[in-house]
Amino acid sequence: EAGVTQFPSHSVIEKGQTVTLRCDPISGHDNLYWYRRVMGKEIKFLLHFVKESKQDESGMPNNRFLAERTGGTYSTLKVQPAELEDSGVYFCASSPLRDRKNTEAFFGQGTRLTVV
Amino acid sequence: DAKTTQPPSMDCAEGRAANLPCNHSTISGNEYVYWYRQIHSQGPQYIIHGLKNNETNEMASLIITEDRKSSTLILPHATLRDTAVYYCIVRFRLVGSARQLTFGSGTQLTVLP
């Protein structure tokens, strides 16, 4: 079974540019989460999708960040325009919606974003 | 969700048991204790969780004190590949739903050869 896949693995962009991160969850997982760890800080929650709907976006830092999950499959996280403080590792995770055995989250390898 | 306190770092000899403590003195009756770990350059990985009984799976054992104010994650035979940051997280668990995880600073476990 394929795990959570994130693209790209690394991205280096200049301040002011736009970057789009992609996450492919485990097939059949309706819950999809974005987290990030910025330099020297703890891993922080950004938002949670249930299928194509945003369940909780309380962790989104500002309106430069836009997450979408059209069709309820893969998700994208766009940063526009990118700032230096956006540098860090962005993680995606997914979990099944109704699974009494295991509702734990499976994480991808992350996308390392560097804004210069 | 209740706050947790973990030591910032620990060492363990390869092949020995690694015992990672976690304090969660403000835990409420409906909150579970979860453990995740993050191996360098990888995403966090679920290890185990429990409510009040001790739990064991293929990766680890979880010992929760009777008053539930603290717990210990035990890796029975640590290997070099267990070197990682271990996170103790306390949160409600709802079947059919999933709340966000609140990661703290965790414990950096270093397994020494």
Instruction: Tell me: pLDDT of A98 over 70.
Output: no
pLDDT at B96: 44
pLDDT in tens, chain B (113 residues): 668 999 999 999 999 999 999 999 999 888 889 999 999 989 999 999 999 989 999 999 999 999 999 999 999 999 999 999 999 999 876 554 456 788 999 999 999 99
Q: What are phi and psi of B64, to 5 degrees?
A: -115, 130
Number of other CB atoms surrounding residue B74 within 10 Å: 16
pLDDT single digits (tens) A54-92: 999 999 999 999 999 988 899 999 999 999 999 999 999
Instruction: State residue B14's pLDDT score.
Output: 97
Sign of the Cα pseudo-torsion (B31, B32, B37, B41, in order): negative
Contacts of B104 in chain A (CB under 8 A): 42
Could you give the CA distance from residue B97 to residue B91 in angstroms, rounded to a whole number? 13
Enumerate residues 29 to 58 of chain A having a beta carbon within 8 A of any beta carbon in chain B: 31, 33, 35, 42-45, 48, 56
Using CB atoms, pick whichever of A43, A100, A104 lies closest to residue B46. A104
Tell whether the model's pLDDT for residue A112 goes beyond 80.
yes
CA neighbor of B90 nearest in space, from B41, B20, B11, B33: B33
Q: Which residue has tokens 């029975």?
A: B76
> According to the model, what pLDDT value does residue A65 have?
97
DSSP string, chain B: ----B--SEEEEETTS-EEEEEE-TT--TTEEEEEEEE-TTS--EEEEEESSS-EE-SS-EEEE-TTSSEEEEEETT--GGG-EEEEEEEEE--TT--PPP-----EEEEEE-
Residue in the block written with tokens 């770990």: B37
Measured between beta carbons, which residues in chain B are less than 8 angstroms from residue A33? 100
Residue A103 contacts B, CB cutoff 8 Å: yes
Are B96 and A109 a contacting pair at CB < 8 A? no
What pLDDT does B100 receive?
A: 79
Which residues in chain A touch residue B93, judged by CB atoms under 8 angstroms apart?
103
A89 has which bridge partners? Answer: A37, A112
Give the Cα separation of B37 and B106 in Å (integer).
9
pLDDT digits (tens, 9 = 90+) for A12-37: 999 999 999 999 999 999 999 999 99
On whether any CB of chain A is under 8 Å from the CB of B46, the answer is: yes
CB A56 to CB B49 under 8 A? no
Reference A113, options A89, A92, A79; nearest CA is A89
> Nearest Cβ partner of A109 from B42, B100, B105?
B42
- Terminus-to-terminus CA distance in chain B, angstroms? 37
Which chain A residues contact residue B103 at CB under 8 A?
A: 35, 42-44
Residues of B in contact with A100 (CB under 8 A): 95-96
- Helix (H, G, I), strand (E, B), or coil: what is residue B82? helix
User: Residue A13 in contact with residue A101, Cβ under 8 Å?
Assistant: no
CB contact under 8 A, B41 and A43: no
DSSP-assigned letter for residue B57: -
Which H helix or E strand runs over A111? Answer: strand A111-115
The pLDDT tens digits for A42-52 are 999 999 999 99
